[in-house]
Amino acid sequence: MTDALREQALRATLLQRSALWKEAAERARRLMTGRTDDVSDAVRLVDDYRLLAHDLARARRLMPDSRVRSFLESAYAQAHATLYKQASHPGYALWSLFRDQIPEATRSIRSHIVWVLLLFVTALGVGGWMVHTYPELINLFASPSLIATVERGELWTEGLLNVVPSSVLSLQILTNNIVVSLFAYCAGFLFGLGTFYIVGLNGLMLGAVFAFTAQHGLDDDLFRFIVAHGCVELSVMVLSGAAGAAVGEALIRPTTPRRSQAFQQAALRTSKVLIACVVLLVGCGFIEGYISPDPSYPLWTRVVVGVGYWLFMVAMLRGWVFGRSRGTEAVEA
Amino acid sequence: MNGRSPTSLEAPRDEADLVVDSATGVNVSLPVAGAGARSYAFIIDWHIRIVLFLAWFVVATLVYNGSWDLAPPAEPTAGYFGLVIAPGAALYFLYHPVLEIAMRGRTPGKRMAGVRLVTRQGAVPSVPAHLIRNVFRLMDFFPVCYALGLVVVALTKDHVRIGDLAAGTLLVYDRREHEGVLEHVNPAVIGTRLDVSTAELVEELLQRWQTLDASVRQRLARTLLARIEGVAPESISLSESRLYTRLMQLARGSEA
């Protein structure tokens, strides 16, 4: 038998197995889309995977430019994706996320939290000093309407509930805060400089506005407005900034052979902190919409809410809210 | 592969393919989608999002107003915000992350463009990967219309945007158009007069015979037969029905 005849015979034999390939492709598709939970299907997929690999290897050699080979490539890729699909346990995954993964991710960026906090506090002090020393610099940080309101001896937050209902205010505030927080994180992509800029600017603005209200005897009122939601809101700003800084550091000082790999690892690790930030900001939004602008709440109530929510944040970031204690083993989802 | 000639275990490698090692030793080859397919999918999705948002806005406003009036209230109210604005905005902004997770790396736009998201291991991305990919849209969108994202797609080897770099994902083509091919080839005819590629062509022409113009199908049939017989196409002077019969005989292996 010549080589050409032998190869033709091999091709014909290979094509006779097409019914098996179709079955394998269909089974992989069923398992991928969750249209079957039959154990025997899952077990047979392993055999299918081997069968497709074997026949694809032959097809690549015997009929490299045929559409049969393309079909096998597709079926093999489908079987591969199905076989390597992670098991889906949404409830367990969520519990594991809050109990173990968020605390571990937060722990991994401890040093970044300290540095970003330092940056924020420094910017706060600098902003306050600038406006205290050169009052006209407030024009750099605040809008003309805000300046005019404070100069009239009023705080811009007074009568807020007469203009916008609490629910609308809450949703507007939490949406805005979440976007700022996500932006502070994503800006870490610019080698951390974006995060540095956003955190620094927010610190400068807060310090400047506090100094400006102090000049008009309204700083107590501003503190009264901020304390209930601000403890967590500002902490979350620092947290998301720290997560962004960790992403930036991964690009500046990669711990893997490739920068892109280091970036990916840092982004996936720190994204868990971001989930916690979003959840906490939802709470902040409601406090800022319902409690902060409502004058009927006395200062002590606001302090209790602010400090209490901050302690809840710490407990959540340590995993205590979800049953994690010191020495608890991590649970894989 | 580094300098070795490809073996049957390795896919004939296209520069644009993602090649993944597998436990069987036969690698998985996935063709990477470029900026065009990516933009096409996005534009379809964007239109779907806009239509969904507008549909929600119109229906919810009519329900809220209780009359054929689409004007928003003079003063913002919690009811209007909760019924009209917030769900509409959620539809618009959560479209990508929610559908990508629910449809395992696809959206209606990606499906129509024939692409899907995979990890660098060829698997379906995890939920955190989907989320992080979508969070980074904030950067990819910068300064307008995904300009930065498109520049990064053009500059990176695997045509990925910043969100994909962060999540370790990439867009590959779904080769679904080849699913029907196995119906087209009769194993019995391979090794007679036809090789696999020609058998595929003959079967496909027969399948599409009725949908093609008479002149086109006759020309294609003559070209194919000439290739099989090893003669010039002009030398085949069969009528249309005889051309069809001849191709059928070849495809079924029943020629005299």
Measured CA to CA, the distance from residue B201 to residue B207 in angstroms comes to: 10
Q: SS3 of B71, please?
A: coil
* Pairing status of strand B28-31 against strand B115-119: unpaired
Residue A220's pLDDT band, with cuts at 50, 70 and 90, is very high
User: Is B251 in contact with B183 (CB distance < 8 Å)?
Assistant: no
Residue A280 to residue A286: CA distance in whole angstroms: 10
How far is B172 from chain A, CA to nearest CA, in Å?
A: 11
pLDDT band of B134, cuts 50, 70, 90? very high
Three-class SS state of A291: coil
pLDDT at A328 over 90: no
Coil vs helix vs strand at B19 = strand
Q: Which of B41-45, B51-55, B196-200 has the lowest mean pLDDT?
A: B196-200
**Residue that wins the pLDDT comparison between A40 and A126:** A126
For A27-58, the pLDDT digits (tens) are 988 888 877 777 888 889 999 999 999 999 98
Closest CA to A215 of A139, A293, A138, A157: A138
Between the two ends of chain A, the Cα-to-Cα distance in Å is 57
**Count of Cβ atoms closer than 10 Å to residue B175 Cβ:** 19
The torsion angles phi and psi of A28, rounded to 5 degrees, stand at: -60, -40
Chain centre to alpha carbon of residue A60: 43
B45-51's contacts with Cβ under 8 Å and 24+ in sequence apart are B45/B95, B45/B96, B45/B107, B45/B108, B45/B109, B45/B110, B46/B109, B48/B95, B48/B108, B48/B109, B49/B91, B49/B92, B49/B95, B50/B92
Q: How far is A246 from chain B (nearest CA, A)?
A: 13
Question: What pLDDT score does A197 carry?
Answer: 94
Half-sphere exposure of A279 (CA within 13 A, CB side): 15
Q: Which of A2-16, A274-288, B104-118 has the lowest mean pLDDT?
A: A2-16
For the segment A163-176, what is each residue's pLDDT rounded down to a tens digit? 777 778 788 888 88
- Flag whether residue B30 sits within 8 Å of chain A, measured between CB atoms: yes
Average pLDDT in chain B: 85
Structure tokens at A147: 């300046």
Pick from B122, B166, B188: CB nearest A263: B166
Mutate to test the interface with B, among A2, A10, A15, A92 (most CBs of B within 10 A): A15
Peptide bond into B6 cis (omega under 30): no
Of A6, A100, A16, A88, which Cα lies nearest the Cα of A55? A16
| Predicted local distance difference test score (pLDDT) of residue B184 | 61
Nearest CB neighbour to A70, from listed B81, B139, B178: B178
As a whole number of Å, the end-to-end CA separation of chain B is: 48
Measure B57 CA to nearest chain A CA, in Å: 17
User: Alpha-carbon distance B47 to A19, whole Å?
Assistant: 40
pLDDT in tens, A75-92: 999 899 988 888 778 888
